[in-house]
Amino acid sequence: MTTLINGRQLADSMQEQMRLEVEKLGKQNAFPALVVFLVGDDPASKTYIKNKEIAAQKIGIHTKLEHYPSDISEEKLLIEIKKYNDDPHYHGILVQLPLPEHIDEEKVLLNIDPKKDVDGFHPINMGKLLSGKAEAIPCTPYGIMKMFESYEIELSGKNAIVIGRSNIVGKPMAQLLLAKNATVTMAHSYTKNLAALAKQADIIVSAVGIGNFVTKEFVRKGAVVIDVGMNRDENGKLIGDVKFDEVEPIASYITPVPKGVGPMTITMLMQQTIQACKRQELS
Ligand SMILES: Nc1nc(=O)c2c([nH]1)NC[C@@H]1CN(c3ccc(C(=O)N[C@@H](CCC(=O)O)C(=O)O)cc3)C=[N+]21
Active site residues: 52, 96, 119
Q: Is residue 86 part of a domain?
A: yes
Q: Is residue 128 part of a domain?
A: no
Rg of the chain (C-alpha set): 19
CATH of the domain at 210: 3.40.50.720
Q: Is residue 171 part of a domain?
A: yes
Quote ipTM for the complex.
Answer: 0.95
| Residue 220 assigned to a binding site | no
SS3 53: helix
| Percent share of the chain, pLDDT over 70 | 100
- 41 and 82 both lie in a single domain: yes
Q: Taking residues 68-95, what's their average pLDDT?
A: 98
256 lines ligand 1 (CB under 6 A): no
CA distances from 31 to 20, 50, 65, 179, 228 (A): 13, 21, 17, 32, 31
Measured distance CA(255)–CA(6) in Å, rounded: 7
Q: Taking residues 232-249, what's their average pLDDT?
A: 96
- 186 and 246 both lie in a single domain: yes
The amino acid at 177: L
- 105 and 157 both lie in a single domain: no
Measured distance CA(164)–CA(208) in Å, rounded: 5
267 lines ligand 1 (CB under 6 A): no
| Residue 222 assigned to a binding site | no
- 148 and 250 both lie in a single domain: yes
Nearest protein Cα to ligand 1, atom 2: 96
How far, in Å, is the centroid of ligand 1 from the Cα of 222? 28
Q: Exposed, middle or buried, 258 (CB in 10 Å: 0-12/13-18/19+)? A: middle
Residue 13, pLDDT score: 98
CATH of the domain at 103: 3.40.50.10860
SS3 per residue for 245-260: HHHCCCCCEECCCCCC
Encode pLDDT of 205-220 as tens digits. Answer: 999 999 999 999 999 9
Whether the CB-CB separation of 52 and 36 falls below 8 Å is answered with: yes
Q: Is residue 108 part of a domain?
A: yes
Q: Taking residues 141-163, what's their average pLDDT?
A: 98
pLDDT band at 135 (very low <50, low <70, confident <90, very high): confident
Measured distance CA(36)–CA(61) in Å, rounded: 12
Note down the domain range covering 247. Answer: 139-262
Average pLDDT, the chain: 97
Q: Is residue 120 part of a domain?
A: no
| Percent share of the chain, pLDDT over 90 | 97
Does residue 133 have a pLDDT over 90?
Answer: no
Atom of ligand 1 nearest to the CA of 140: 5
Encode pLDDT of 97-131 as tens digits. Answer: 999 999 999 999 999 999 999 999 999 999 999 99
What total of structural domains would you count in the chain? 2
- 256 and 178 both lie in a single domain: yes
Residue 267, pLDDT score: 98
Whether the CB-CB separation of 135 and 128 falls below 8 Å is answered with: yes
Residue 134, pLDDT score: 81
Q: Is residue 230 part of a domain?
A: yes
Q: Exposed, middle or buried, 135 (CB in 10 Å: 0-12/13-18/19+)? A: middle
pTM score > 0.90 for this model? yes
Count other C-beta atoms under 10 Å from residue 256's C-beta: 18
- 249 and 163 both lie in a single domain: yes
Atom of ligand 1 nearest to the CA of 119: 3
Does residue 132 have a pLDDT over 80?
Answer: no
Q: Taking residues 232-256, what's their average pLDDT?
A: 97
Q: Taking residues 19-42, what's their average pLDDT?
A: 97
Q: Taking residues 191-195, what's their average pLDDT?
A: 98
Q: Are strands 183-187 and 92-95 parallel, antiparallel or unpaired?
A: unpaired
Handedness of CA 217, 221, 223, 229 (dihedral sign): positive
Q: Is residue 15 part of a domain?
A: no
Residue 129, pLDDT score: 96
- 256 and 216 both lie in a single domain: yes
Q: Is residue 121 part of a domain?
A: no
